[in-house]
Copies of this chain bind each other. A is one copy, B any other.
Amino acid sequence: MPEIAYVNGQFLPLDRAVIHVEDRGFQFADSVYEVIRTYGGRPFAMDEHLARLFRSLEAIELKPAFTADAMKAIVVEGIQRAGFAESVAYLQVTRGRASRHRGFPADTNPTVVLTVRELVGPATGAEEAGISVITLPDNRWGRCDIKSVALLPNVLAYAAARKAGAHDAIFVEADGSVTEATAGNVFIFTAGTLRTPPKGPKILPGVTREKILQAARESGIACREEAITKAELLDAEEIFISSTTNETLPVVSVDGKRIGSAKPGEVTKQVREAFLRAFVRKK
């Protein structure tokens, strides 16, 4: 079964899935998205992802011509049609096709695109070994809480990290506050407490971030949503990055400085276990 796509009402092989060059997602990044994964073949946290999609749509004043339930049905059907053991579904909604002008077009239907690819685990053994990161000034726009496709800053920061021999970058604001990695929320463990920056305009309200906080609290780990300084990041006992596809990715080096024992930490493993136990394995 090949990778599959859905474009504006029609399922088709991924290879044949196209959009018009004057789609506003292509010309203006006027578009938001979600990435949904499966566990045991079933989509995970679908309601949370779709709720966030609708929040993103509202934030960019894009009135969808569909309901969350209709979107859910498309994602489920796409995953079934693809038939992989585990899938990653990528769902993108744009303001549609219009003659190029930055103003909202008057009579345009949103474009809805879904792609379904096979989910493959990290090939590099990153989960076992942990990754190294560099810090970079956060030069992204002011509304990173909107899951938009305006991702060029993330692309360039990730490339800079790879060029520096690291696996990813963590953004730091001018005042020294840690925000996010290039595709995930940042957690540190210090002095008996798990911390992650509080929600705000520079923080995507991660679905996995929320589940991890809940699972960690339920398993008795003290958690705080609280600003983290770069100095605290460098001095952390443990660090991990949360995301849909990587769950909890341990960070063992920041800007060349070893974190903890330079191996994935015990609390990170506990948190991961708690997350899997609470939300994945029980199903």
Contact = CB atoms under 8 A, between A and B. Distances in A.
Contacts of A17: 20-22
A137 interface: yes
Contacts of A227: none
A230 interface: no
Contacts of A143: 139, 153
Given A7-B21, A19-B19, A140-B141, A61 B26 contact: no
A158 B24 CA distance: 15
Given A104-B159, A149-B27, A14 B22 contact: yes
A278 interface: no
A89 to B, nearest CB: 11
Interface in A1-56: 5, 7, 14, 17-31, 33
B22 A21 contact: no
A60 interface: yes
Q: Which secondary structure dominates where chain A touches chain B?
A: mixed
A90 B151 CA distance: 21
Interface in A154-174: 154-156, 158-159, 162
A23 B183 CA distance: 19
Interface stretch (A95-103, A233-241, A268-276): A95-103
Contact of A26 (B19, B140, B155, B159): B19
Interface of A: 5, 7, 14, 17-31, 33, 60-61, 90, 92, 99-100, 102-104, 113, 115, 117, 137, 139-143, 148-156, 158-159, 162, 182-183
